[in-house]
Amino acid sequence: MPQSTGPAPHTTRHHWLRWAWIPLTLVVIAALAQIVDVDLVWHELRAADPWRVAGMLATWLLWLALRPVRMRMLLRATAPEVAVGYNDAFGAHALGNALNGLLPMRAGEFGMLWVLNRRAHVPVAGALSAVVLDRLCDLAAAVCLLGLATLALPNRPQVVTDGLMAVVVALAVGTLILALAIRLRRAALALAGRVLPARWHPAVLPRLEGLLVGLSVLARPAVLARAAVLSAAIWTVTATSFTLGIGAVWPDVGLMTGAFTVGVTAMAFLVPAAPGGVGIFHAAIVFALSFFSVPAEKALAFALLTHALTLVTGLTVAGLWTLLNGLDARRIARDSLAAAEGEDTPA
């Protein structure tokens, strides 16, 4: 995306991708509309406990403050030649989070790369490795959190146990494949060269090699330990925020309820969805809270509340950061969406 050492390869933007999420989202929203009373959802929103809502907001802001700490730690490992300050790491995460709430195809990840490369001057390979590691840490932490919370489920249904086992197996297989690709980097690159069309080689293979080199930092025990500790802290704060938010509409709730809901929601985001996960996010919360006997209307009220609160706050924080740092948010959004659609956007 951001840097290029030669002529930009010919690429085609796949504009259809930005609309691919619409059918699934419409189906999910229609299904939700069939099982809830909209008037009752609105009533639950108006009756939400403002103190718990304030607590949810405070812990979510703490979440925003913690994530750049882990990103800086990962960047010190993947790009040791560049000293990335907290401000740039914070801005990368704030913008990435805001863009994911507005744009499809997880374009916010490309926004993170934009900030890290063009503002913090992190080489593409180091920035890409750090962003991928950041997301892998989130995935591993979410699976662990979901596993712990599943043990606390009352009368744990077999479908939940089976689903969790499927996720764990998929994660283990993916980890093994990734470890082999890092260990046997030349063979992995040769295989990619045979599978990918030749016209993609100049753009993809150098970055894939840089990514595999960057991901090899996971073999360092110190990096792995720090990432695990910071990820545990980040996801504990996330579970606490969800617990407070759920408690705003359904007071009889514990931390494991929030943890289970967070884990299920994180798994749902693996499905290609609308900006901000509209539909999928809300359905995942209703599904998760049904195991704790939370009525669908109350669950959907919480989903709408947390989505609106995090989206508005996230956009505000990202907007202020870009304004204070003299950046053009529209340009970053445009470049991020272009990159998500397959267009190379060299600096």
Q: What is the pLDDT of residues 286-327, one digit of tens each?
A: 999 998 889 999 999 999 999 999 999 999 999 999 999 999
Max Cα distance, the chain (Å): 60
CA–CA dist 285, 318 (Å, integer)? 26
Instruction: Please list, residue by residue across 15-31, b when 16 or more beta carbons sit within 10 angstroms of its beta carbon and e when fewer do.
Output: eeebeebeeebeebbee
For residue 8, the model assigns a pLDDT of 41
Average pLDDT over residues 99-104: 86
Burial class of residue 155, CB neighbours in 10 A (0-12, 13-18, 19+): exposed
- Per-chain mean pLDDT for the chain: 87
For residue 2, the model assigns a pLDDT of 44
For residue 343, the model assigns a pLDDT of 61
Residue 262: Cβ within 10 Å count: 26
CA neighbours within 13 Å on the CB side: how many for 312? Answer: 7
For residue 239, the model assigns a pLDDT of 95
CA–CA dist 127, 107 (Å, integer)? 15
DSSP assignments along 110-151, one per residue: HHHHHIIIIIT---HHHHHHHHHHHHHHHHHHHHHHHHHHHH
More confident call, 298 vs 200: 298
Percent of the chain at pLDDT exceeding 70: 91
Q: For residue 261, what are the contacts with CB-CB under 8 A and spacing of at least 6?
A: 242, 246, 285, 288, 289
Query: Is residue 6's pLDDT more than 70?
Result: no
CB 41 within 8 A of CB 129: no
More confident call, 139 vs 340: 139
Query: Is residue 43's pLDDT more than 60?
Result: yes
Residue 266: Cβ within 10 Å count: 20
More confident call, 276 vs 248: 248
> What are the pLDDT digits (tens) for 216-259?
888 889 999 999 999 999 999 999 999 999 999 998 888 999 99
Percent of the chain at pLDDT exceeding 90: 54
Whole-prediction pTM: 0.86
Confidence of residue 335 (pLDDT cuts 50, 70, 90): confident
> What are the pLDDT digits (tens) for 45-76?
999 999 999 999 999 999 999 999 999 999 99
Ranges of beta strands (E only) in 152-201 are: none
Tally the residues of the chain: 347
Q: How far is CA 295 from CA 40, 157, 243, 289, in A?
A: 11, 18, 16, 8
For residue 15, the model assigns a pLDDT of 57
